[in-house]
Amino acid sequence: GAVVSQHPSRVICKSGTSVKIECRSLDFQATTMFWYRQFPKQSLMLMATSNEGSKATYEQGVEKDKFLINHASLTLSTLTVTSAHPEDSSFYICSARGGMGGNTSTDTQYFGPGTRLTVL
């Protein structure tokens, strides 16, 4: 139980294009999902918290127009990096708070495998 998937696992794109990353909770319903960014050999940086059916809450310093988050269902959240630039290259990780199903606990975050974004 408690499987969270991300797609794609790796993406390379040209500067100025937009990239969409999907995060799915496969065997449980997640009302809350989180998006993190991680630079090499550094800790996680929380970008935003998304709740199903409502607008995401962004952390200070994260551009909401740059990083569009949609949480349209209880099992899917998407992060779109708009007009990507080389400085957006990073490892993006989503996580879902446990909810109904999958033998999960609501006090625990379950993480996806991450998406490596490289912007040329």
Partner 1 sequence: GNSVTQMEGPVTLSEEAFLTINCTYTATGYPSLFWYVQYPGEGLQLLLKATKADDKGSNKGFEATYRKETTSFHLEKGSVQVSDSAVYFCALRSPNAGKSTFGDGTTLTVKP
Judged by CB under 8 A, does residue 7 bind partner 1? no
Please name the residues in contact with 74: beta carbons below 8 A apart, sequence gap of 6 or more.
25, 29, 30, 31, 52, 99
Question: 105 is written with which tokens?
Answer: 């606990």
As a whole number of Å, the end-to-end CA separation of the chain is 37
Q: Of residues 46, 62, 68, 76, which one binds partner 1 by CB under 8 A?
A: 46
Number of residues that bind partner 1 (CB under 8 A): 23
Does position 34 interact with partner 1 (CB under 8 A)? The reply is: yes
50: contact with partner 1 by CB under 8 A = no
Residue 39 buriedness (CB in 10 A; 0-12 / 13-18 / 19+) = exposed
> Cβ closer to partner 1: 55 or 85?
55
Stretch that binds partner 1, among 12-20, 42-50, 62-70, 75-83 (CB under 8 A): 42-50
How far apart (Å, rounded) are the C-alpha atoms in residues 24 and 72?
11
Beta bridge partners of 96: 33, 110
Determine, following the binding rule CB under 8 A, whether residue 13 of this chain makes contact with partner 1.
no
100: part of which helix (H) or strand (E)?
none
* Contact between 14 and partner 1 per CB under 8 A: no
Q: Can you give the binding site for partner 1, defined by CB under 8 A?
A: 2, 4, 6, 32, 34, 41-44, 46, 49, 57, 93, 95, 107-114, 116
